[in-house]
A and B are shown apart, each in its own frame.
Chain A
């Protein structure tokens, strides 16, 4: 029984969730908003990993689990595999997605911040864009962290978006 979800619905839900947490619940506390969104992602990842690993043999080591995240888990979530996986063999993995689906349609409404200083509008706009986008990344980071923790790999996951829509996820294991 494969149930499908409309992609635009997921996109809208994600956008709406981020904006609700950032602008309504924790309007002046971006840290708290980020942590709440990450926690939601964690639970989602926790449950998804349970489902997607159902018919698979058990993983023998961390690398196998990471490979599963890059290939099968990623295809289930984003309909594509990770483009590049790098590791330093000491517990740090860098997952690169050159066309991160959930950010491919992100744009920033510049008319909203009419009150910002006019000295350096370009830099402010860029800054604002980066801030908004990074808010949208806490959810996928949470998902990955939830999935890995459920597979028995406690870790920290952070994201880097210096060149959109490419996205780098950094998974750091505490081993």
Chain B
């Protein structure tokens, strides 16, 4: 289950952060997202030659914690997407697929002429799309 997704701007400013848990642990999840930004920077500045193809947008597993796995994605425009999940055996393809759909939703949201670049995404449509994508995450592998 995905517990948190976040969009972070190129100056590490939060553009959208949403947790999907009933428990009151938003702060903890925000902290995890915050920590993951350092890992993203590290990945980008010292790309591993052996790892996934150089300069791919999908950054893979950023770091595992005791209860969560954190995945990252960096667009060409230096916007970061962070995904925090509780599933411990996640298939890479699922995560890639999630990020692809999430990216499409993000592009649609920022293409709104009323959206101010660099400001938080307040679009309701975006929030709805994201929650649909989050709900459908991992279903393909289960079914």
Contact = CB atoms under 8 A, between A and B. Distances in A.
B85 interface: no
Interface string B80-117: 00000000000000000000000110010011010001
B10 interface: yes
Contacts of A151: 76-77
Interface in B24-66: 53-57
B16 to A, nearest CB: 14
A151 B55 CA distance: 14
A63 to B, nearest CB: 14
Interface residues of B, number: 18
Contacts of B54: 57, 60
Interface of A: 43, 46-47, 49-51, 53-54, 56-60, 150-152
Nearest to A46: B117
A46 to B, nearest CB: 6
Contact of B104 (A53, A54, A58, A152): A54
A159 B75 CA distance: 29
B35 to A, nearest CB: 22
B78 interface: yes
Contact of B111 (A47, A53, A150): A47
B55 A57 contact: yes
A54 B111 CA distance: 13
B70 interface: no
Nearest to A44: B113
B88 to A, nearest CB: 29
B134 interface: no
B56 A58 contact: yes
Contact of A50 (B56, B57, B77): B77
B76 A58 contact: yes
B130 interface: no
Contacts of B53: 57
29 contacts: A43-B117, A46-B117, A47-B110, A49-B76, A49-B77, A50-B75, A50-B77, A50-B107, A50-B110, A51-B107, A53-B75, A54-B103, A54-B104, A54-B107, A56-B76, A57-B54, A57-B57, A58-B55, A58-B56, A58-B74, A58-B76, A59-B55, A59-B76, A60-B54, A60-B55, A150-B117, A151-B77, A152-B10, A152-B77
B111 A50 contact: yes
Nearest to B76: A53
A116 B41 CA distance: 61
A57 B52 CA distance: 11
Contacts of B110: 47, 50
